[in-house]
Structure 1
């Protein structure tokens, strides 16, 4: 009788452990896919904007991207699903987005300089997207 109880208890504990691991794996997959989708979505939307998109509209896009990335990363971080170092890396990019959008625009700082600074910003964001799995697991 005792061996049967022990085996039953052991199997029950093992089932709970397997469920926990499966849930944790699903949680990780959800966080990774959601964050990567948000990062790539920003990059693709920016790259596919029209050449005739005004600076004002481009600035509004940057602010929307920053707000979205901040909201998603904060929600995952406060739920202990995303580490602070990865959040801070994302927040560095969102801070740059807001700074670019808020910078006073004059004739001499739009066009090529604007394109150059946003190109660097989205290159950084693309690197975070490409390296996200490694950055996530490194924590």
Structure 2
């Protein structure tokens, strides 16, 4: 009887270890990314609370939000993992505050619209394996 309990305990332990190992590995192979950090400014001032997106030709875009100093850090698959390698178009979006309660009211941009659309943005960045912690994005009128 005692050896039967030990055998059950060992099987249960083996099952728990196996479940833990399988549960902790995602098994998903993501494309390689590199860390990207930078600063966005508009009219020579840091641009706070703006959404920054690095959009590759194919694959998932990397996104981040600027803090009060205009600083951002990009994430693609996991927090802070950066952007996939290759060339990206950059869009920046920041809405003006609105007092309207109409959910269908047009959202007004705090920056020139040229920077808010993938087809019109002049902003580009090539992401390499080394990454970049000093990306400077200067928006102009």
TM-score calculated relative to the size of structure 1: 0.33
Task: With a CA cutoff of 8 Å and minimum separation of 6, indicate the structure with the bigger relative contact order.
Answer: 1
Please state which structure has a larger fraction of its residues in helix. Answer: 1
The structure with the largest alpha-carbon Rg is 2
